Structure 1
Amino acid sequence: MGCKMKLIFRYMKKYKVAVFAAIFIKLIGTMSELSLPYILEYMIDYVVPSKDLVQVVIWGLIMFAASIFCRQFNVMANRKAIYNAHKVSYDVRGDLFKKTANLSGDSFDEFTLPSLISRMTSDSYNVQSAVQQLQSLCVRAPMMLLGGVIMTLFMDFHLAMILIVMLPFLIGVVLIVSLKGIPIYTKVQQRLDSVVRIMRENITGIRVVKALSKADYEKRRFSRANEEMAKSDIRAGTVMAIPGPFMQLCLNVGLTFVVIFGAKRVNDGLMQPGIILAFLTYFNMITMGVMGLNRIFMSLSKASASADRIDDVLKGNDDWIKTDEEPVEGDDFISFENVSFSYGKELNTDNGFAGGKREKALDNISFSLKKGESLGIIGPTGCGKTTIINLLMRFYDPDEGSIRIDGKSISSFDKDELRSKFGAVFQNDMIFKDSLYNNIDFGRNISKDEIAKAIKDALADEYINALDKGLEYQADIKGANLSGGQKQRLLVARALAGRPQILVLDDSSSALDYKTDSAMRKAIKENHKESTLILIAQRVSSVMGMDKIMVMDNGKCIGLGTHKQLMESCSAYRETYEMQTT
């Protein structure tokens, strides 16, 4: 548990002064609470028998003051603990978000989106809960336990030995169960990942589920995942609940022996009767301390599992490792040289696969573009078209070969420097719940004139101007209140507004009719001549006017040239053209 808790202690270190203040205040409050039974015992055994009313009032006021003192300090300590815990969880979530945004493509694929969501929500909450308890219960519970034992030893050694004999058994059970709880809670969080994944799939694809009348099927699928999580959670709760009844039984048995032997010692004149009452109170405090330890270990078991999952993400591979490769002289603006790439990790028996090499998404791809040139990429689904863009924008690094922009390897650019060259529209791109204006500007502080030009070139001005609020019209999440064609034109406007050096359009006109698609491409060609265009499409009509066309199949380039050249040299391209134009 210690190694896994390092992450929590690392984040707490930033607030060490505030944390120590909360612990110190809690310590004083707990010590005040421990003094109450002793004061009560002194009053019963010595003050009351003296029949001195003034002494009774004085000690009564002392006990009242100690109670108020205890209450106020405990409240102050709890508030500080809650505040510090929220600050730590704030930092954890912030770092998780930043790291997630910078994860390499392989790392992101490995963790999966649902798992990253649950780590940022459920796991960070478990860490927050642990930090809070480390400042409150981790002080109060041991103090109640040890302080209660010390006070009972001070009052009567013989009765105190009854409790001391039981403590090793109680603490041993708590430790053993807690160690078993960590892997169980890890499994609970993994089951939660599955539940989140299915929920996300259903929320995202709710229209498809309804259209195909598969609501019942999805309910059963969710129920299975939910049931598996519930079983894991119940098992974890059952295991962690074992110490509670055992400790309660032991302490009640000990309490019975204290009453029996205490009464005998009072009868024998070996101790005062007030000590028995004080012992009963201290036993309750000790019980609370042991139960508090149980809660602490339960919380820390959850937090250890969660901290381990969070640390895995924070240690994940970044998507940016800058190199110092020398630039290459030449006229080419973009060049791919013998580039090969495969998604995922190597297949091996350790991961449960049969072994062997990964299937290549790209195999020995080479092409070049000069500034202002255009490239159309066409081919069947899954042939590697989008992968070319993923590598060019360095979402992934190639396994072999080199990719250069303006003679420089893309790995030698700073992230912002490289990404600022691009304006891109991806498949299933994101429209945010915000105004159309903010969706286009996207925090880049682009001038209104440039945005107006981009809207016009994307042929989005007609429908935007027809809206009551124009550019201030509020888009729903994922543009649910816009048609497919409206969303695509809005996304193209976003890409054009920044006047990018490289314009990437990945299947960005699939929802447009041929006339609108042709008009938009014409406007882009005339008004954005400075941009090097890479256009991925399924229609030959969308790419036939490009300076170069690359035909892809199964990760390989099977044709590269102009429309006229490919009609003569590439049978796959010619067949696609004839199929779409006949």
Structure 2
Amino acid sequence: MLIVLKEYARLWWRQRWWLSLVLLAITAAVSIELLIPLIFKNMANAFALPVSEATAQVLMQNLLYLALAFMLEWLIWRALEFGIIPLEAGGMRYLDSFCFEVLLKQPYRFFENNFAGSLVKQASRFTRSFESLTDWLIFQLYSKVLATSIALFLFFQQDPLLAAYFLIFIILFIAWNLGFSLWKLKYDEQVAEWDSKLGGLYSDSISNIAVLKSFALESHEQANVRHFARILYKKRRFAWILMFISFAVQAILTSSIEFILVYNMIQDWRQGQFEVGQYVLFQTILLVLLRHLWEFGQSFRSLFSSIADAREMANIIQNQQLEQDTSEAQAQTIRHGKIEFKQIYFNYRQTKAGSTVATSGLFEDFNLTIQAGEKLALVGHSGSGKTSITKLLFRFVDPQQGELLIDDIPIKRFTLASLRQQIALVPQQPELFHRSIKDNILLGKSVSTEELERVARQAQALDFIEQLPEKFNTLVGERGVKLSGGEKQRIAIARALLQQAPIVVLDEATSALDSLTEQQIQTAIFELIENKTAIVIAHRLSTILRMDRIVVLANGRILEQGTHTELLAKQGHYYRMWQHQSGEFLNLD
């Protein structure tokens, strides 16, 4: 709970002037609301007197006071509404951007271990919970404490004994609600946790709808959703039962104090100390106060539900293992493109905190130098470390020991933005935004139409783009589902061409394409890497044979390296793969 309140407190401080205005308005509104019963008291006492001109004047005077009070209360609430919009809506606007920024700072591995749909839901709930908690702070905690304080003061002025009873009631009421709600919080958190899991399952199924439908998995996935929904229902049902138990105890307490009030009035009447106006005053204040306390008690449900909803995102915000620039990082320029891996120790499992010793893992004392302008092919079985090399290059992950340099500059001295902007990536399965083809090629850049068409033509993409209904403005669908694999690959090559980076990484960029399509974009690929340093993960022969050097990997180690001819002459591991080639592909089985 403290984590959530700490994060929201920062925003309340940012919005402190609007918060102050709202609290000032609430102070005035509650004060007037509880002063109105004093007017009713005077009017009730006047009504109990015989009809006379003096009594009529008292009634009319108090009626004027009542009208002024209502008018002031109306104006105060309008001022409160004026302040609540920038306070809450403005705060939510800030949180929408802030949560996205926090998620972007998370390391690459974070997104491999979390559902996208679940993260979106957590961020959304965190933003909505700010509104709920701000409402609770203003309209429940502050206004109810203020109302109770004013009411107790008025009660002590009129009847100290009744005020003492009422004070005991308030203590019991708040103690019960606070204690019970704190105990119940763990069950509210379980509801939020399973709600996120269900949201993640929805996202996972819908984002893989093609697989789901092609394998006729509708019934299977629906059963999974029903199972998760059933667990969520049980968690939610138990939390609600506890909430209704809390309401039942609150009802007993409020009925008790009402009974004590009426009993005390009866005793005063029997002793001749009864005043009609005093009864009206007490009853009116008590009704107002019981309404406030009842709302306050019920508000604990939304308070702790909101805290439970916000806690997951708050924990992400508190995460210290962020993807960030080092203190010595600068916007460096890659002028040549020489890449060096020096004595790299890397394990996907984290080392112990504060330890400088790397555990055994994927890379141990790994060394590799790629000269500027060299075209290097990485081949090896799955798990050999090919993709991990590219992740280290992009700093999606960092080695536990060793150093990676570009142009003799440690990559940690590059800002992440400057590093990644100078390395172009063409992956095996290009991920596209659900935006236009133009947006997916430009990726935020601003270029002329001629330049856009040039890179599309160079990537062999212009012909199919021109045949689309909206041409470059055609929406590609979520993750590019409206395009074929070859079309998406051409889009990826076009944006890499536009990037004009000195280093290019091709991660199985043509392995998923048919031979005809591969031939069509082969020229584009080699134009892309011309005069640039290229790391190519591939097992298509037409790509490998044109590389300056081939590095054969296995379990994070370099087994052998050299040109195609040199490796065949060694008759080693590469030679055996070559002997078992299948069609146009190197056999990596």
Give the alignment's TM-score, normalised by structure 2: 0.89
User: Which of 264, 269, 273 is equivalent to 1:266?
Assistant: 269
Match for residue 278 of structure 2? 275
Question: Residues of 2 paired with 1:332 and 1:478: CA distance?
Answer: 31
Q: Percent identity?
A: 22
Listed as ranges, the matches of 1:88-127 within 5 Å are 88-109=91-112, 113-127=116-130
User: Which of 80, 104, 123 is equivalent to 2:83?
Assistant: 80
Question: Residues of 2 paired with 1:402 and 1:55: CA distance?
Answer: 90
Match for residue 338 of structure 1? 343
Match for residue 132 of structure 1? 135
Is contact 2:507-2:538 (8 Å) kept? yes
Confirm or deny that 1:253 pairs with 2:256.
yes
Which segment is superposed worse, 368-377 or 104-113?
A: 104-113
Is contact 1:209-1:215 (8 Å) kept? yes
Which segment is superposed worse, 530-539 or 339-348?
A: 339-348
Q: Which runs of 5+ in 1 are unaligned?
A: 349-356
Confirm or deny that 1:204 pairs with 2:200.
no
Question: Residues of 2 paired with 1:467 and 1:104: CA distance?
Answer: 37
SS in 2 for 1:365: strand
Give the alignment's TM-score, normalised by structure 1: 0.90
> Would the alpha carbon gap of residues 502 and 227 (structure 1) be closer, same or farther in structure 2, given more than 3 Å must change?
same
> Would the alpha carbon gap of residues 448 and 360 (structure 1) be closer, same or farther in structure 2, given more than 3 Å must change?
farther
Instruction: Supply the RMSD in Å over aligned alpha carbons.
Output: 2.8
Q: 1:561 is matched by which residue type in structure 2?
A: G
> Would the alpha carbon gap of residues 380 and 79 (structure 1) be closer, same or farther in structure 2, given more than 3 Å must change?
farther
Match for residue 587 of structure 2? none
Match for residue 581 of structure 1? 583
**Structure 1, residues 350-384: CA drift from partner, whole Å, max 9, x if none?**
xxxxxxx9773444432222222211222233332
**Structure 1, residues 98-141: CA drift from partner, whole Å, max 9, x if none?**
12112223444566544432321123212321022212222222
Q: 2:238 is matched by which residue type in structure 1?
A: R
Q: 1:342 is matched by which residue type in structure 2?
A: N
> Would the alpha carbon gap of residues 572 and 230 (structure 1) be closer, same or farther in structure 2, given more than 3 Å must change?
farther
Which segment is superposed worse, 526-535 or 495-504?
A: 526-535
Is contact 2:37-2:281 (8 Å) kept? yes
Match for residue 29 of structure 1? 29
Question: Residues of 2 paired with 1:359 and 1:243: CA distance?
Answer: 54
CA-CA distance at 1:548 after TM superposition: 1.6
CA-CA distance at 1:16 after TM superposition: 0.4
Count the aligned residue pairs: 573
Match for residue 433 of structure 2? 432
Listed as ranges, the matches of 1:238-317 within 5 Å are 238-316=241-319, 317=321
CA-CA distance at 1:241 after TM superposition: 3.9
CA-CA distance at 1:420 after TM superposition: 1.6
Which segment is superposed worse, 138-147 or 494-503?
A: 138-147
Question: Residues of 1 paired with 2:286 and 2:327: CA distance?
Answer: 66
Confirm or deny that 1:552 pairs with 2:557.
no
Listed as ranges, the matches of 1:148-547 within 5 Å are 148-316=151-319, 317-322=321-326, 324=328, 333-345=338-350, 360-526=361-527, 528-547=529-548
Which segment is superposed worse, 265-274 or 43-52?
A: 43-52
> Would the alpha carbon gap of residues 290 and 570 (structure 1) be closer, same or farther in structure 2, given more than 3 Å must change?
farther
Question: Residues of 2 paired with 1:180 and 1:55: CA distance?
Answer: 53
> Would the alpha carbon gap of residues 365 and 497 (structure 1) be closer, same or farther in structure 2, given more than 3 Å must change?
same
Question: Residues of 1 paired with 2:191 and 2:430: CA distance?
Answer: 33
Which segment is superposed worse, 330-339 or 128-137?
A: 330-339
**Structure 1, residues 214-234: CA drift from partner, whole Å, max 9, x if none?**
211111211222222232233
Question: Residues of 2 paired with 1:222 and 1:560: CA distance?
Answer: 50
Q: 1:368 is matched by which residue type in structure 2?
A: T
SS in 1 for 2:342: strand
CA-CA distance at 1:388 after TM superposition: 1.1
Question: Residues of 2 paired with 1:104 and 1:479: CA distance?
Answer: 25
Is contact 1:475-1:482 (8 Å) kept? yes
> Would the alpha carbon gap of residues 478 and 334 (structure 1) be closer, same or farther in structure 2, given more than 3 Å must change?
same
**Structure 1, residues 243-282: CA drift from partner, whole Å, max 9, x if none?**
3221221121221222132023124221202222322222
> Would the alpha carbon gap of residues 4 and 285 (structure 1) be closer, same or farther in structure 2, given more than 3 Å must change?
same
SS in 1 for 2:582: helix
CA-CA distance at 1:70 after TM superposition: 2.4
Which segment is superposed worse, 18-27 or 447-456?
A: 447-456
Q: Which runs of 5+ in 2 are unaligned?
A: 585-589
Listed as ranges, the matches of 1:9-20 within 5 Å are 9-20=9-20
Which segment is superposed worse, 567-576 or 250-259?
A: 567-576
> Would the alpha carbon gap of residues 48 and 74 (structure 1) be closer, same or farther in structure 2, given more than 3 Å must change?
farther
Is contact 2:455-2:495 (8 Å) kept? yes
CA-CA distance at 1:149 after TM superposition: 2.5
**Structure 1, residues 166-215: CA drift from partner, whole Å, max 9, x if none?**
22221211121122233333322222221122111100111211222221
Question: Residues of 2 paired with 1:246 and 1:238: CA distance?
Answer: 13
CA-CA distance at 1:58 after TM superposition: 2.6
Which segment is superposed worse, 544-553 or 337-346?
A: 337-346
Match for residue 352 of structure 1? none
Is contact 1:85-1:131 (8 Å) kept? yes
